Chain A
Amino acid sequence: AQSVTQLGSHVSVSEGALVLLRCNYSSSVPPYLFWYVQYPNQGLQLLLKYTSAATLVKGINGFEAEFKKSETSFHLTKPSAHMSDAAEYFCAVSDSRIGNEKLTFGTGTRLTIIP
Protein backbone atom coordinates (compact mmCIF):
# COMPACT_ATOMS: atom_id res chain seq x y z
CA ALA A 1 0.00 0.00 0.00
CA GLN A 2 1.10 3.54 -0.68
CA SER A 3 0.52 6.68 1.32
CA VAL A 4 1.69 10.24 1.71
CA THR A 5 1.85 12.42 4.80
CA GLN A 6 1.68 16.17 4.54
CA LEU A 7 3.15 17.92 7.56
CA GLY A 8 1.17 21.01 8.48
CA SER A 9 -2.44 21.42 7.46
CA HIS A 10 -1.98 25.21 7.37
CA VAL A 11 1.08 27.21 6.34
CA SER A 12 1.32 31.00 6.30
CA VAL A 13 4.13 32.91 4.64
CA SER A 14 4.68 36.56 3.83
CA GLU A 15 4.55 37.72 0.25
CA GLY A 16 8.04 37.39 -1.23
CA ALA A 17 9.15 34.81 1.33
CA LEU A 18 10.14 31.20 0.70
CA VAL A 19 7.35 28.66 0.43
CA LEU A 20 8.06 25.17 1.80
CA LEU A 21 5.32 22.53 1.89
CA ARG A 22 6.35 19.16 3.27
CA CYS A 23 5.42 15.71 1.98
CA ASN A 24 6.72 12.31 3.00
CA TYR A 25 5.74 9.14 1.21
CA SER A 26 5.53 5.44 1.93
CA SER A 27 5.65 2.94 -0.90
CA SER A 28 6.69 -0.68 -1.31
CA VAL A 29 7.52 -0.11 -4.99
CA PRO A 30 9.29 2.78 -6.74
CA PRO A 31 6.79 5.60 -6.53
CA TYR A 32 5.63 8.31 -8.81
CA LEU A 33 4.98 11.52 -6.89
CA PHE A 34 2.85 14.53 -7.68
CA TRP A 35 1.87 17.91 -6.34
CA TYR A 36 -1.55 19.30 -7.17
CA VAL A 37 -3.04 22.70 -6.37
CA GLN A 38 -6.71 23.36 -5.73
CA TYR A 39 -8.22 26.84 -5.83
CA PRO A 40 -11.59 27.43 -4.14
CA ASN A 41 -14.50 25.70 -5.85
CA GLN A 42 -12.26 24.25 -8.52
CA GLY A 43 -10.79 20.89 -9.37
CA LEU A 44 -7.18 19.89 -8.90
CA GLN A 45 -4.48 21.18 -11.21
CA LEU A 46 -1.14 19.45 -11.65
CA LEU A 47 1.84 21.51 -10.46
CA LEU A 48 4.59 18.98 -11.09
CA LYS A 49 5.40 15.29 -11.12
CA TYR A 50 8.31 12.98 -10.40
CA THR A 51 8.44 9.86 -12.57
CA SER A 52 11.95 8.51 -11.90
CA ALA A 53 13.89 10.88 -14.15
CA ALA A 54 15.60 13.93 -12.60
CA THR A 55 15.19 14.13 -8.83
CA LEU A 56 14.71 17.90 -8.95
CA VAL A 57 11.47 18.60 -10.71
CA LYS A 58 10.35 22.00 -11.92
CA GLY A 59 6.69 22.77 -12.30
CA ILE A 60 4.38 25.58 -13.20
CA ASN A 61 4.13 28.95 -11.45
CA GLY A 62 7.75 28.80 -10.22
CA PHE A 63 7.30 25.75 -8.00
CA GLU A 64 9.77 22.91 -7.75
CA ALA A 65 10.19 19.76 -5.69
CA GLU A 66 13.06 17.41 -4.94
CA PHE A 67 12.70 13.66 -4.62
CA LYS A 68 14.89 12.36 -1.79
CA LYS A 69 14.75 8.60 -1.53
CA SER A 70 16.89 8.47 1.63
CA GLU A 71 14.42 10.74 3.39
CA THR A 72 11.30 9.43 1.61
CA SER A 73 10.41 13.05 0.97
CA PHE A 74 9.08 15.17 -1.87
CA HIS A 75 8.84 18.70 -0.48
CA LEU A 76 7.43 21.54 -2.57
CA THR A 77 9.22 24.89 -2.66
CA LYS A 78 8.97 28.28 -4.27
CA PRO A 79 11.62 30.97 -3.69
CA SER A 80 9.25 33.91 -3.50
CA ALA A 81 5.58 33.67 -2.59
CA HIS A 82 2.95 35.58 -4.53
CA MET A 83 -0.55 36.43 -3.40
CA SER A 84 -1.93 34.24 -6.18
CA ASP A 85 -0.26 31.19 -4.60
CA ALA A 86 -2.89 31.11 -1.85
CA ALA A 87 -4.63 27.76 -2.31
CA GLU A 88 -4.75 24.18 -1.04
CA TYR A 89 -1.89 21.93 -2.07
CA PHE A 90 -2.04 18.16 -2.24
CA CYS A 91 0.81 15.70 -2.46
CA ALA A 92 -0.02 12.40 -4.13
CA VAL A 93 1.66 9.08 -4.83
CA SER A 94 1.02 6.38 -7.37
CA ASP A 95 2.44 3.03 -8.29
CA SER A 96 5.04 3.27 -11.04
CA ARG A 97 3.85 0.12 -12.71
CA ILE A 98 1.85 0.59 -15.90
CA GLY A 99 -1.86 0.27 -15.26
CA ASN A 100 -1.59 1.26 -11.63
CA GLU A 101 -1.54 5.01 -11.99
CA LYS A 102 -4.39 5.78 -9.63
CA LEU A 103 -3.42 8.44 -7.13
CA THR A 104 -3.41 8.33 -3.34
CA PHE A 105 -3.59 11.84 -1.92
CA GLY A 106 -2.41 13.42 1.30
CA THR A 107 -4.74 15.44 3.48
CA GLY A 108 -3.63 18.73 1.98
CA THR A 109 -1.91 21.92 3.14
CA ARG A 110 -3.70 25.24 2.98
CA LEU A 111 -1.26 27.99 2.03
CA THR A 112 -2.02 31.53 3.14
CA ILE A 113 0.01 34.47 1.86
CA ILE A 114 0.37 37.44 4.17
CA PRO A 115 0.56 40.80 2.36
Chain B
Amino acid sequence: EAGVAQSPRYKIIEKRQSVAFWCNPISGHATLYWYQQILGQGPKLLIQFQNNGVVDDSQLPKDRFSAERLKGVDSTLKIQPAKLEDSAVYLCASSPAVATSSYNSPLHFGNGTRLTVT
Protein backbone atom coordinates (compact mmCIF):
# COMPACT_ATOMS: atom_id res chain seq x y z
CA GLU B 1 0.00 0.00 0.00
CA ALA B 2 1.14 3.54 -0.63
CA GLY B 3 2.34 5.38 2.46
CA VAL B 4 1.43 8.76 3.87
CA ALA B 5 2.45 11.44 1.38
CA GLN B 6 3.52 14.91 2.46
CA SER B 7 4.62 17.96 0.52
CA PRO B 8 6.73 19.93 0.27
CA ARG B 9 9.70 18.15 1.80
CA TYR B 10 11.48 21.37 2.65
CA LYS B 11 10.36 24.98 3.00
CA ILE B 12 12.28 28.10 3.93
CA ILE B 13 10.36 31.30 4.69
CA GLU B 14 10.92 34.56 6.48
CA LYS B 15 9.19 35.33 9.74
CA ARG B 16 5.73 36.82 9.39
CA GLN B 17 5.20 35.04 6.08
CA SER B 18 2.59 32.34 5.66
CA VAL B 19 3.11 28.69 4.70
CA ALA B 20 0.98 25.62 4.04
CA PHE B 21 1.71 21.93 4.21
CA TRP B 22 -0.22 19.15 2.54
CA CYS B 23 -0.83 15.57 3.61
CA ASN B 24 -2.45 12.66 1.79
CA PRO B 25 -3.05 9.79 4.23
CA ILE B 26 -3.17 6.09 3.45
CA SER B 27 -6.33 5.24 1.56
CA GLY B 28 -9.16 4.32 3.89
CA HIS B 29 -7.55 5.70 7.02
CA ALA B 30 -10.15 7.70 8.90
CA THR B 31 -7.88 9.27 11.50
CA LEU B 32 -5.26 11.84 10.64
CA TYR B 33 -2.75 13.59 12.89
CA TRP B 34 -0.39 16.53 12.54
CA TYR B 35 2.68 16.51 14.77
CA GLN B 36 5.35 19.17 15.24
CA GLN B 37 8.90 17.92 15.87
CA ILE B 38 11.34 20.59 16.97
CA LEU B 39 15.01 19.70 16.63
CA GLY B 40 16.14 17.61 19.58
CA GLN B 41 12.63 16.92 20.81
CA GLY B 42 9.99 14.27 20.34
CA PRO B 43 6.97 14.89 18.12
CA LYS B 44 4.19 16.91 19.72
CA LEU B 45 0.58 16.47 18.64
CA LEU B 46 -0.95 19.57 17.08
CA ILE B 47 -4.30 18.29 15.87
CA GLN B 48 -6.22 15.04 15.37
CA PHE B 49 -8.99 14.53 12.82
CA GLN B 50 -11.53 11.72 12.67
CA ASN B 51 -12.80 11.79 9.08
CA ASN B 52 -13.35 15.53 8.53
CA GLY B 53 -14.05 16.39 12.16
CA VAL B 54 -11.58 17.68 14.72
CA VAL B 55 -11.12 15.34 17.70
CA ASP B 56 -8.35 17.19 19.54
CA ASP B 57 -6.76 20.55 18.77
CA SER B 58 -5.91 21.50 22.34
CA GLN B 59 -2.21 22.00 21.54
CA LEU B 60 -2.69 23.88 18.28
CA PRO B 61 -1.68 27.57 18.55
CA LYS B 62 -4.91 28.77 17.04
CA ASP B 63 -3.82 32.39 16.75
CA ARG B 64 -1.47 31.41 13.95
CA PHE B 65 -2.03 27.75 13.05
CA SER B 66 -5.03 26.33 11.23
CA ALA B 67 -5.79 22.94 9.74
CA GLU B 68 -8.53 21.42 7.72
CA ARG B 69 -9.43 18.06 6.27
CA LEU B 70 -11.99 18.62 3.60
CA LYS B 71 -13.94 15.54 2.53
CA GLY B 72 -12.16 13.49 5.18
CA VAL B 73 -9.17 12.64 3.01
CA ASP B 74 -6.35 15.14 2.33
CA SER B 75 -5.38 17.66 4.95
CA THR B 76 -3.60 21.00 4.97
CA LEU B 77 -1.85 22.70 7.86
CA LYS B 78 -1.27 26.45 7.62
CA ILE B 79 0.84 28.86 9.62
CA GLN B 80 0.15 32.58 9.34
CA PRO B 81 2.20 34.50 10.32
CA ALA B 82 5.21 32.30 10.99
CA LYS B 83 7.58 32.86 13.88
CA LEU B 84 11.18 31.77 14.31
CA GLU B 85 10.11 29.17 16.88
CA ASP B 86 7.94 27.46 14.28
CA SER B 87 11.07 26.02 12.67
CA ALA B 88 10.51 22.29 12.92
CA VAL B 89 9.57 19.16 11.03
CA TYR B 90 5.84 18.80 10.57
CA LEU B 91 4.79 15.16 10.49
CA CYS B 92 1.50 13.82 9.26
CA ALA B 93 0.28 10.41 10.40
CA SER B 94 -2.80 8.34 9.71
CA SER B 95 -4.47 5.28 11.16
CA PRO B 96 -7.54 3.19 10.43
CA ALA B 97 -10.90 3.98 11.97
CA VAL B 98 -11.20 3.38 15.70
CA ALA B 99 -13.95 0.83 15.16
CA THR B 100 -11.52 -1.48 13.41
CA SER B 101 -9.14 -1.68 16.37
CA SER B 102 -6.53 0.81 15.36
CA TYR B 103 -3.83 -0.77 17.46
CA ASN B 104 -3.59 -3.67 15.06
CA SER B 105 -2.30 -1.14 12.59
CA PRO B 106 -1.09 1.87 14.49
CA LEU B 107 0.03 5.24 13.26
CA HIS B 108 1.75 5.43 9.88
CA PHE B 109 3.93 8.49 9.48
CA GLY B 110 4.91 10.44 6.41
CA ASN B 111 8.47 11.69 5.89
CA GLY B 112 7.55 15.15 7.10
CA THR B 113 8.03 18.71 5.92
CA ARG B 114 11.06 20.51 7.30
CA LEU B 115 10.24 24.19 7.85
CA THR B 116 12.94 26.77 8.42
CA VAL B 117 11.83 30.26 9.46
CA THR B 118 14.52 32.94 9.10
Whether B91 contacts A99 by the Cβ 8 Å rule is no
Looking at chain A's contact residues, the main secondary structure is: loop
Decide yes or no whether B28 CB sits under 8 A from chain A.
Answer: no
User: Cα distance A102–B114 when bound, in Å?
Assistant: 22
Contacts of B112 in A (CB 8 A): 42-43
The reply to whether B91 and A44 contact each other, CB–CB distance below 8 Å, is: yes
Question: What residue of chain B has the Cβ atom nearest to residue A107's Cβ?
Answer: B42
Size category, B interface: 20 to 34
CB proximity of A50 to chain B, nearest CB, Å: 10
The answer to whether B75 has its CB under 8 Å from any CB of chain A is no
Residue B87 is within 8 A (CB to CB) of chain A in the complex: no
Name the residue of chain A whose CB is nearest to the CB of B3. Answer: A43
Is A46's beta carbon under 8 Å from chain B? yes
Whether B24 is near chain A, meaning CB under 8 Å from some CB there, is no
Interface size, A (range): 20 to 34
Q: Is A45 an interface residue (CB 8 A)?
A: yes
Encode contact with A along B84-116: 1 for CB under 8 Å, 0 otherwise. Answer: 000000010101001000110011011110100
User: CB-nearest residue of chain A relative to B107?
Assistant: A103
A79-114 residues with Cβ-Cβ distance < 8 A to B are 90, 92, 98-99, 101-108
Apart from the given pairs A43-B91, A101-B95, A107-B41, 17 other A-B contacts in the complex at a CB distance below 8 Å: A9-B40, A43-B4, A43-B109, A43-B110, A43-B112, A45-B109, A102-B48, A102-B56, A103-B43, A103-B45, A103-B107, A104-B45, A105-B44, A107-B40, A108-B40, A108-B41, A108-B42
Contacts A/B (CB < 8 Å), 5 sampled: A43-B110, A46-B106, A49-B103, A92-B42, A99-B55
